[in-house]
Structure 1
Amino acid sequence: MTEKIHLTSGEIGSLWTSYMNNSMSTCMLAFMLKHISDQDIQPVVQYAYDISSNNKEQIRTIFENESYVVPNAFSEQDVNMNAPWLFTDVFCLSYVNHMAKVGMISYSGMLSMSARDDIRTYFTQMLTEASDLFNQSSDIAFTKGLNYRHPYIEGPKETDYVDSKAYFKGFNPFSDQRPLNAVEISHLYINTLTNSIGMKLCIAFAQSSPRKEVQDFMLRGKDISKKHIKIFVDILLEDEIEAPSVPDVGVSDSTTPPFSDKLMMFHMSLLISSGIGNYATAAAASQRSDLVTDYERLSLESAKLAKSGADIMIKHQWLEQPPGAKDREKLAKNKRDDV
């Protein structure tokens, strides 16, 4: 008889995180599907919903087979399907495209942390579906004339090497500062776009939440995103590089909450974590010292926002705890006390 291979901490953590994220996504996408009218955009939003719903059920089955508790996560109680329309249809497309990017990054990491064959197969499937969703949403955006393209630069005609330490410097205002390279431009561009999505979500969540502390948190997040966008755009414009053309991702004037505060706070926590990860990647890839410093200080600002959000979630018991190791010292003390 073959001994059962138990899930590792990496696999449990990845499955738990994926379940939480997909549970939240099904609520967001279900609301979008009820109201969306654009017949070109609706199918890709439906595909995104189907992916999230199926993923959630697959993980539920895995947990049940392992006799593990299934997270509470989110349910129909966290979405008001009768609330007025909150987003434009183009926002829905931009949202799906952005969350597909988040999914590709997340699932590749989860796959790399998995050892058991069935779990690797699952995350490989998830990575493939996230890639398909990104490609489909990008194709529709292109046909709609939406600009998701990174800025153009002149293509390289020959190879070159760094011939001075000055290549890495960026702070001295009295010396010539080298232009941005292609890698740095790409990260500045993508971080501008992601902050634009985050800013619009903060506006939507702020105006629809009934709690002042949640409203204040979302408005603070909006201001931080707006500040970060300006910093990135100004850096691009210094080199005469066209700033990203952000699609019409508008928000209606509805103040009726379509989502629970618990869901909205969780969603912003996810986006902030993703943003901090993007900044870390950008800092590691950038070769100008001023850019590295910018990403580090902006990451700290985002981390402080995340901390204040976590405090709100803890206060209202919205922050579901991930599975963790047993406190061995506590177990030993409890046993001693029972004797």
Structure 2
Amino acid sequence: MTAVVVPPRAAAGELDAAGITSPALRDAYARCRALNAEHGRTYFLATRLLTPAQRPAIHALYGFARMADDVVDAPGAAGLDEVVARLEEVRARMRVALSGEHVLDDEPVVAALAHTVERYGIDHRYLEDFMDSMAMDLTVTEYATFDDLAGYVHGSAAVIGLQVLPVLGTVVPRAEAEPSAAALGVAFQITNFLRDVAEDLDRGRIYLPMDELAAFDVDRELLLWCRAHARTDPRVRRALAHLVARTRATYRRADDGILLLDPVSRPCVRTASVLYGGILDEIVAADYDVFSHRVVVGKARRAAVAGPGLLRAVAARNRPRRRT
């Protein structure tokens, strides 16, 4: 049995607002919130713009995604077979929890996930698709085309947008907002791929389509050379510029869907979009140097974006709500 986590005052207020009274569930959601605060700085900042009642569900979805991702990306000294087994154990526990049979006491993150999925009617298929993509990370090291990458990104990113959509709420039938929600998840993911080229190479993976790179005479060997020398070859710079432009187009398509969301959720999503899009700006400002350091959006810019977002969020909460 794991020790009980006492939620900090802010977390307790969110749990109260969400009507979560069970001590075990409060503990579970508090753990998810802590994961989000520790690992998802930009994401966590954006969630602060949601209503307190919405935040626990977002933390639960993030916490489970983080737990599964850590199995894949931080395996320690475990061999492939052991990591595969660990990931399948996570999937098995997820399925048990989603079935409603029982929730294991030693898996608070899964308990929070199951509660959120049931409460908001989130399609279980999205969780299965996510786990499929996590499994791909164990065997697939590169993708030939964007079409090939799309299968992975659907499960690793698009479905995240689809999972959170019921929590955010919409002013139109949910199906109308789903393409934009999925597109924003994809934009966030490709942004991460561009920022984390070096880290992914260290894990033996390339998440940028090889044919798009080849058009600029870039291959795995050249990327590895850039990583080893902490330098960006001009050919790689041109390839990254092309992919940054393509990703910005995805953000523009996704932004069209923000007005389809419940007004109280729009400041959060718009802020997240601007902050993540800001990572692309920082990559460009660094002259596409993603090999010598990790590009980040500075605290001053995060505050400058989040501040007005907070004002819009407060104003939206004070207006009458219409939610689908």
The TM tier, using the shorter chain, reads 0.3 to 0.5
Instruction: Provide the TM-score with structure 1 as the length reference.
Output: 0.34
Instruction: Provide the TM-score with structure 2 as the length reference.
Output: 0.35
> Which structure exhibits the higher relative contact order, with contacts defined as CA atoms closer than 8 Å and separated by 6 or more residues?
1
